[in-house]
Structures are given as C-alpha cells and as structure tokens.
Amino acid sequence: MSRISIIGAGAWGTALSIVLAGRGHAVRLWVYENDLYQRLLRTRENDVFLPGFHLPDNVVPSNALGDALDSAEIVLTVTPSHVCRTVYRQMLDHLRPDMLFVSATKGLEADTLMRMSEVICNVAGERFTPRLAVLSGPTFAREIARGAPAAVVIASADPGLARHLQAEFSGPTLRLYASSDMTGVELGGSLKNIIAIGAGVCDGLNLGSNALAALITRGLAEITRLATACGAEASTLGGLAGLGDLVLTCTGTLSRNRTLGVELAKGRSLAEIQAGTPTVAEGVKTTSAAIRLAAQRRVEMPITEQMDAMLHHGRSPRQAIRTLMERSLKSEF
C-alpha cells in the first residue's frame, strides 16, 4: 500500500480520499480552508463540499502543505484549475524526484492555455522532471464516495507509470483503464464542461430530448476537432474521458456545469449563481480559454462560441441556441 497525499479537499478530492483509503492506502488530505480543516478534525465530515460522508481513520486531514506532503509516495492534485500553478509553487520545496504525480483537475490555465499536466511540469521542472499521470472520466464525487461502481482513465507518457497507478488505485468500486494519450484525456475532461453548460440551457428552456441529443453529439464533434488539432488521438474522445464524461456531465443532475446552464436559462445572472455556491463550475473559465485555443489552432467551435457569448458578452440563452440553429447548412462530417 502507498502513502498518498491528496492536495485539495473539494468534493472530488474528498471522495478520492475515501475510496483510496478503502484500498488500504495511508492518505493525507490537504485542506485549504482552516475553518473546514478544524471541523474535519472534530467531525470527520466535509460539511461544505461533500456532506454526509465520514472520512475513514486512515485519512489524515492537514492544513499545512509541508505536513501533507511529508513522506508521500504519490501526490494527487485535485485543486481548481485556476490555482494549480500557485499551489504547486507553494509545494515546490516539499517535492521530491521520487514522488509520483497525478493530476485529477479538469481545466485549462487561463493565461497560458496550458493543460494541468503542462502547468505541473512547468513548475516542478524548475527542480526536476516529474513522473506524471492524469486521471479523468465520468465521475460524480457523491457516487464515488458512497461506493457506486465507476470507471475512469489514467494516462501517462510513461506506460509503466500508468500501469502502476492503475493497479494502486483500482478496486471493487473504481476501475481504471490505462492510456498514453494525456492530451486527449485532459482536453476531453476540460472541454466537456462547456458543452454541459449548453445542456443545462436546453433543459432550463425545456427544449426537449431531441435538442439535448443533438447538442451532446455536436459537442463531441467540436471537442474532438480541437483535441486532435492539439495532438490527441480521436479514439480517446470516444472513450471514458471523452464521450463518457460528456454524457454524464450533460445529463446528470449532480453536474455543476449543467446546473449553471439551467439557472442561466431561468434568467439568473452568472455573478448571482456563482455567489450562491462554494463549488466551482470549471466550464466558465474553460470557455474563454477554449475560444483562444481554438483560434490558435484554427478550429471551428460554434457551441463553445455561443457559450462564451452567453457567459461573458451578454447574449441571452435563447438567442445563443437560435444562433446555433440558424448557422449555414453543411455536411455532418
């Protein structure tokens, strides 16, 4: 069994601590918020991000990065994408070349358009080249925490590392598939959040199942276009980290990004929605980054463009959908 440090105690980080502790690993869970950390010590429950679940005895909460990383063999980061670089800079003096690194964060860095694995390599590379993998797939934290079966992808340019982590993390309720396509796995997990906002708009406007099915299918098409333009394998986008995660996030009621779209369709403002929840809908920041990345790669992404216009430029949800429907006609493939 391994000593695992999970950096980030949101819903996903907390759920991973529960399932990995269940495999017998010694888990340290770094909690950013000091008040939440104090309550976790007393109650063993993350009452902000994952209420209703008890942390196993072999999960040790920590509020200090040095303490959380002490003696770690595997460092699993589950922070919001916009703080990934900052957190890794704060961790840098505590990192060792013998550590194995896993990113389970879905998103793109706004300024650089880097994927999270690229951010980690960029920061840790100041001292050493990290052995790195990424974890993604169709998962809701609450279902993982309660032990419902799920399957995800672990991807690394190092096949031996992917196989090792696959064996360490897999168990009766969580099955990992190995991949070498880090680009496809990360972009699939990031870009699907944009489409999920659109799916929420469809539901919020009561546009029906036909519209939702069309949005998911055409959303997958544009995700695949951009991902392959960035070097991903098309087959990855048809797998768990692409199609699987897209379907879950677009249809599941636990999806934060879908819920955001539903609320926008009801006429609420983005600022109002975000102010009312402690959780992060990664699709909001990812949309702007994806627009710029698509422009760099000269890839057409009409759904993403309309989501960006709706989120950041005042277009109404109904007008965004109408613009998509009235685009010039073309062949499907």
Rounded to whole angstroms, the Cα distance separating 171 from 168 reads: 8
Q: Identify the band that residue 276 occupies on the pLDDT scale cut at 50, 70 and 90.
A: confident
Rounded to whole angstroms, the Cα distance separating 137 from 215 reads: 20
Q: What is the pLDDT of residue 283?
A: 86
- Return all residues near 2 (Cβ < 8 A) that are at least 6 apart: 25, 26, 73, 74, 168
User: Does residue 279 carry a pLDDT above 80?
Assistant: no
Note the maximum CA span of the chain: 60
Instruction: Report yes or no: 246 and 255 within 8 Å, Cβ to Cβ.
Output: no
**Residue from 109, 121, 52 nearest 83 by CA:** 109
Domain edges within the chain: 3-180, 183-325
pTM: 0.95
Mean pLDDT of all residues in the chain? 96
Q: Identify the band that residue 174 occupies on the pLDDT scale cut at 50, 70 and 90.
A: very high
Q: What is the pLDDT of residue 123?
A: 98
Give 24-38 pLDDT, tens digit per residue. Answer: 999 999 999 999 999
Give 199-252 pLDDT, tens digit per residue. Answer: 999 999 999 999 999 999 999 999 999 999 999 999 999 999 999 999 999 999
Give 117-167 pLDDT, tens digit per residue. Answer: 999 999 999 999 999 999 999 999 999 999 999 999 999 999 999 999 999
* Residue 192 annotated in active site: yes
Q: Identify the band that residue 306 occupies on the pLDDT scale cut at 50, 70 and 90.
A: very high
- Return all residues near 309 (Cβ < 8 A) that are at least 6 apart: 315, 320, 323
User: Does residue 304 carry a pLDDT above 90?
Assistant: yes
Q: What is the pLDDT of residue 17?
A: 98
Q: What is the pLDDT of residue 277?
A: 79
Q: What is the pLDDT of residue 147?
A: 97
**CATH architecture of the region 3-180:** 3-Layer(aba) Sandwich (3.40)
Q: Identify the band that residue 298 occupies on the pLDDT scale cut at 50, 70 and 90.
A: very high
Q: Identify the band that residue 48 occupies on the pLDDT scale cut at 50, 70 and 90.
A: very high
Task: Give the H/E segment covering residue 168.
Answer: helix 159-169
Q: Which amino acid would we find at residue 195?
A: I
User: Does residue 278 carry a pLDDT above 90?
Assistant: no
Domain at 183-325, CATH from 1.20.1630.10, 1.10.1040.10, 3.90.1150.10, 1.10.730.10: 1.10.1040.10
Looking at 192, 266, 285, 330, which residue is catalytic? Answer: 192
